[in-house]
Amino acid sequence: MIIAHKEHARYGLARPLGQLLATAVRTALGDRRAGWLCPVPSPRATVRQRGHDPLRRLTAVAVKSLRRQGIDVRAADALRVIRRPEDQAGLSAAARAANLDGVFGLRSRWAETLIDQPVLLVDDVITTGSTLSEAGRALESGGIRVLGGAVLAATARHRASGS
């Protein structure tokens, strides 16, 4: 479903996926009744190629769903892509981390708003955690404490034979 929404513009999937993201966010927030959701950004060229920004769409659905439940969450487009990373497919965890080093930067206008606020990163799929780690680093470089992340899915980890 994630790939169909993301890569094939199946917009009708935004609602169920966004509601699933809302469930993940609610779990990540714990007892908190408010917070900021910061989607991990895609490079502009990728958004243009897809014709939409799937994660922003899902984040908007999640925000709407959570607000209807009485949880005061808002989206914060606090990150930007500074440089386009290479394709991550097939890279090891170490190579992914190196590939993403310095990819994201904090949009300065958000720094003051998000300091001392509960902030969650949101993404669609977690593979090694490198993307969320780098996004968190970018926010924390501006003094923004990140509570954690909420994702829709995780890829299966494969162990090397003999380990």
Q: What is the pLDDT of residues 42-68, one digit of tens each?
A: 888 887 888 889 999 999 999 999 999
Burial class of 6 by CB neighbour count within 10 A (0 to 12, 13 to 18, 19+): buried
Average per-residue pLDDT in the chain? Answer: 87
pLDDT score of 159: 54
Q: What is the pLDDT of residues 115-141, one digit of tens each?
A: 999 999 999 989 888 889 999 999 998
Query: Mean pLDDT, to the nearest integer, of 73-98?
Result: 78
With a CB cutoff of 8 Å and minimum separation 6, the contacts of 55 are 39, 40, 41, 42, 122, 123, 124
Cα maximum dimension of the chain: 50
Indicate whether 163 pLDDT > 60. no
pLDDT score of 25: 97
Query: Mean pLDDT, to the nearest integer, of 91-102?
Result: 67
With a CB cutoff of 8 Å and minimum separation 6, the contacts of 68 are none
List the structure tokens of 86. Answer: 């290479």
Query: What percentage of the chain carries pLDDT values higher than 90?
Result: 58
With a CB cutoff of 8 Å and minimum separation 6, the contacts of 48 are none
DSSP 41: P
